Structure 1
Amino acid sequence: MNNRTPGWLGFLSLVTFSALMAAPLLWLVLTSLKTPEQMASEPYSWWPSPIRWQNYSDAVTAIPFFRYLANTLILCVGNVVGTLISCSLAAYAFARLRWPGRDVLFAVLIATMLLPWQVTMVPRFLVIRELGLYDTLGALIVPKFLGEAFYIFLLRQFFLTVPQSLIDAARLDGCSEVGILMRVMLPLCKPALLTVGLLEFVATWNDYGGPLLYLNDPERFPLAYGLEQFISSHSSELNLLLAAAVLFTLPIALLFAVLQRAFLSGIATTGMKG
């Protein structure tokens, strides 16, 4: 009995902690289904009475929700593709190719992770403007094709776990470095690629600073920026605000629920070898 006590205590602690973490999300969903009258008379009650599903249709029609959603999906797909292409190429070069200054340049790359986004905000804006990309979705997509330090580091760590014998065998068969990357490395590194893709998808979905800096036309706003506009214009309608927040959060929650096993596997494996 004594041997089982710590296990039960650990299980109880996990359940309690999970319930505390889930409580705000549960309150968000339930409150989004309340009527304005109940919000005013019973602001601290949990259960909606009656349940008002119309809040969601009102939230969708109050702003051009589907246009914002389309812009967000375009950004997410473009950024994920750009990130996977550029970061996998750079990671393979740092992990498996030998060239002068590789380690020094990699150290510089890691050092850039310490720089906050605000430090490079003005130079990036000037470059984007000179390229003629200002107020276009390309201003947020094109930079992703130039690589990102954290994802390069993550993929490099995974590439280092691939046995060198497989790469040497491919080279003996006459395979080029690009061919090795495409036919050997990437098929073996699907968990890491999925992890990077999911992280970038979530980062793009939640990005507010980028659209605020580079976009001016409301026709090109993504959901994150559109939600802020919705909050400004409907600040007194809390039930609609929460319904919009649920609609914004739901796709990411479902995506993580579906890909959670592969995501956790990719995160765990990237730390196997330094």
Structure 2
Amino acid sequence: MPFRISAVLSPAEPVPPAPAALVVDVIRATTTAAYLLDAGARELWLTGSLEGARALAERQGALLAGERGGLPPEGFDLGNSPREVRPERVRGRGVVMTTTNGTRAALRAAEAVPEVALAALVNAGAAVLWAAGRGDGVALVAAGREGRVALDDAYTLGALVTGLRARVPEAELDDGARLAEALFLAQPDARSALAASAAARALEPVGLAADVEVCARADALAVLPVLAERGDGALRFAPVYPKGV
């Protein structure tokens, strides 16, 4: 059976059956997730609600990270900015994260497929290596923005499609994967592509526009957050370093 690449561009689309999924919320949840684990966080828990995140962090003795409206909620240790992540703050600690779009996308993907990882431009190479070894296909799941298609996530899905096709030339693409790939190939400059998105523009009034440049750094990290445990409304991700990155 040929390797099949499916792309879910909108949160309104169902996640198709597949051996594995790569979830993308490039601005900023999956980028920040990669930076947290690369900086030495022991594990990363994702959960959908503020109440659930606070309760889980208390049980685990973990740091709280995330955002609502782009900014950290009251009492959180970290926001959702990759520029905030420092080894001295997170090394050896568990982190519980909740965000507006990305954590919900991960939970949705985990309901549909057995293996899930968090991908962004900063760890695209690691994501491609991992996904190429996951049986006969992968679903690429964009978090989107407020229930709609997001330019930045679609562009990142296109980068993943292009990388996967280089490793699996005979791969079959669905229409969503072809659209994402065409978008990526039409704009070689990742920073410009991401900066044009609504997600990037929304960071300007809260003083976080500089996050976009970090999110656009292709293959800056070799780590991939991979689902290690499903809990009650939460997912635990551990760091994996695919060989060959």
Tell me, yes or no, whether TM beats 0.5: no
In proportion to residue count, which structure has more strand?
2
Q: Bigger radius of gyration, 1 or 2?
A: 1
In proportion to residue count, which structure has more helix?
1
